[in-house]
Structure 1
Amino acid sequence: MEQRAFNGKIMADPKVLKLSPLLIFAKVVDEVGNVHNCLIHQHGLNFLYQATSGAQVALYGHLNQRKQFVVTHFTVVASSASVAS
């Protein structure tokens, strides 16, 4: 399992896929323009609270068998609400 990191921007508001266990889905476009389908499980509520559409994020994780990026660590660099004020 190869770990990777990239910076990107959230394309749309994150969605809750499952409540038990909590699983969040987000589409992120990186600096090159590649679109990644991301799954967030660890600290999913924090991600859901901090990340909005247009937020800059730094993600670290790995690809699963379905080529989805499973996030193990994340940082929300700037949300659109903090940039606007």
Structure 2
Amino acid sequence: MPWNDGHMGGWGYATMIVGMLLFWGLLIAGIVFLVRYAVSGRHGGAEGSVASPERILAERFARGEIDKSEYESRLAVIRGGAAR
């Protein structure tokens, strides 16, 4: 049933504008999210799951699995120096 002689009223235009802004905002936000997700490498790929040997060694030392002398000697080997 047409109201206002078949023309859209002020609230109709406001609803249409808000709807379009929401649509485009969500579309752009979704694209930005997908690009960041693809570029960040935090999506479970092989590159993001590899830890450096120094970091693994430091974590073992922090957990108490190895003592200070063993940590220092292994760190020297990793860095290419001679073990003490």
TM range (shorter): under 0.3
Q: Which has the larger radius of gyration?
A: 2
Query: Could you state the TM-score of these two structures normalised by the residue count of structure 1?
Result: 0.19
Query: Could you state the TM-score of these two structures normalised by the residue count of structure 2?
Result: 0.19
Q: Which has the higher strand share?
A: 1
